[in-house]
Structure 1
Amino acid sequence: MSRLSPRPRPYEPDLEKMMDGMRFEGPSPRNLMQALAHAPKFLMRFQALGGTILFSGKLPAREREIAIMRTGARTRSEYEWGMHVALYQGSCGLSDAEICATLHGAGDDPVWSARERLIIRTVDELHDTSTVSDALWRELASEWSEEQLVELILAIGYYHMAAFFLNAVGVPLEDGAARFAGAPT
């Protein structure tokens, strides 16, 4: 149930240009953008940081998407999880079993490589404790550069913020996005 109705057009010129320029292969985050349009300055910056994480980072796309999908699952954000499954499962080579493991698996799930298990553990530790233990940090630092570690932590935090917004205001699910109930088992 939506608590915040989509903001209708017309928008400010900068916002109109940004909204018109959004093109996705698959479902588009139209409902999210229309909800955020109530605060144009925040929408513009939200979109800029999200675009940087998705399209300008140093993390491999598969690893980034595992982190994002797990974050969506842990925050119970069907919107976030479902959009990323729909948009990136195929291009990131994620199997149905791996998608299911983002929802129901644990940090030691055998569907993941050792490196991917570290990502799952990182999302889980951040979600559960708001930090990363020294032991996990040492493992992470042995696999990723400092720049990639900053990106990984910021991506997880950004998608927590997105999930909190989506869940709190009840942004409607997008047509074509995956659903928790339809997830492979």
Structure 2
Amino acid sequence: MQYLKWKDGNEYDGSQINPSWAFQEFGVKDSTIVSWVGPMNILGDNLIDCEDVGVDIKGNLMLNFIVEHFDEQPGNLKLAYHRQRMLVMITRDKLLDYGIRTTQDGDDIFIDNKKLSVSIATASISTMKMHFALNITTEGTPDDVETSALEDNNMSMEQIHELQDSIANTYMEHIETINKDITKTRVF
């Protein structure tokens, strides 16, 4: 699995959740975790979550992650959601390192009952994908949702980039150690 950084400032519009996006964007033929800081504005045609039809999913500045796995064909949606929850739990642990206490409901992270994150998992015939993002600012988030943000918790952009790397690297370490555990386990 490879960790790639996309240029900060790029917008997440939902099209990046399509299969093999990292290959098309970076030419990488591997499972990937891609991260960047930028706005989010998911357009109607790119909505994956059926509950979100007609809902604005946007923010002026987000810490974005796109994860793609090719280790099971067809893609396994249940496994994708398990991995998504693992990414959420890793993120919560890393936020504690900065003194930020959170709560979790499913794949959502909250600070003081205000939504900090957005996330979706999906699968195709060849891949499993996730988008996960944290609000850096509450500016531009939907008016009908109470949101929280990293900047409201005194995180500098330098710390946000440290957090970005730490989340991505820890996620990859977990995937790698799971794969190693599988190879060393005698099965019956």
TM bracket, shorter-chain basis: under 0.3
Whose helix fraction is larger, Structure 1's or Structure 2's? Answer: 1
Whose strand fraction is larger, Structure 1's or Structure 2's? Answer: 2
